[in-house]
Amino acid sequence: MEKQRIEVNHVFKSFKEKEVLKDISLTIPEGRTVAFVGPSGGGKTTLANLISRFFDPQSGMVKIGGVNVKDIPKEELMNTVSFVFQNSRLVKASILENVRMGKPEAAREEVLTALHHAQCDDILEKLPQGADTVIGTKGVYLSGGEQQRIAIARVMLKNAPIIILDEATAFADPDNESRVQAAFSKLSEGKTVIMIAHRLSTVTNVDQIFVIQDGRVAECGNSRELLAKDGIFSRMWKNYQTSVQWKVTKEVQ
């Protein structure tokens, strides 16, 4: 059995009176990169949260490596699944200490290697004490994209085999976005990766896309297959392309 294979079997999830997930079943083989896309409020993040067991389904089952996540000890599950949120928060401490939270016993050299792989060299170069600079004090503040890269370094250091990226380039400017994307590529090597994405350009090369709409898997396949279907994903792609062109035209004006 693949140790990092994820299976979602007939899962239902409601919040108060609202049914958010309705009989969802899907499988993510070990080592694959998949994306959850779809309209806002369709259930993408809820589904990811069930996999990391932020909460449990009303019925149905989520398994990792053939084991119900409810039967995996909390510490083990935390070491198995890492989350990168769209607004990853850093604490008021040095960059080194922020990254080391991913693996408290890590040596300084390990932390610096993680920062390098997460494309943070330019951040460290401009700061007075490099990795020992305390952020959030004396005017030392980082942009959203820079904070994101340091959060990625933390996840790299932790080295969990399953990574969930929740719209993780949402706040990055173009320069930061290309660096964040490069950091993701490095982070994803040899891992099972789930991307929750609104920016469709980030999912064109994933192994499989699950279109989540109204709490169900409406379509699945790679981007080429889904565009050929001329269904929901194809419409989303056309809308996305139009919005990007509109934005570029507006900036040129």
Tens-digit pLDDT profile for residues 121-160: 999 999 989 999 998 766 678 888 888 889 999 999 999 9
Residue 199's pLDDT band, with cuts at 50, 70 and 90, is confident
User: Is residue 41 pLDDT above 90, yes or no?
Assistant: no
H or E element at residue 191: none
Length of the chain, in residues: 253
Average of pLDDT values for 25-49? 93
C-alpha distance from residue 164 to each of 112, 171, 200, 231 (Å): 23, 17, 16, 26
Residue 251's pLDDT band, with cuts at 50, 70 and 90, is low
**Dihedral angle, C-alpha 155, 156, 158, 164, nearest 10 °:** 40
Q: Is the pTM of this model over 0.75?
A: yes
151 and 90 Cβ atoms separated by less than 8 Å: yes
**Block residue for tokens 């949120």:** 85
CA within 13 Å, CB half, 23: 1
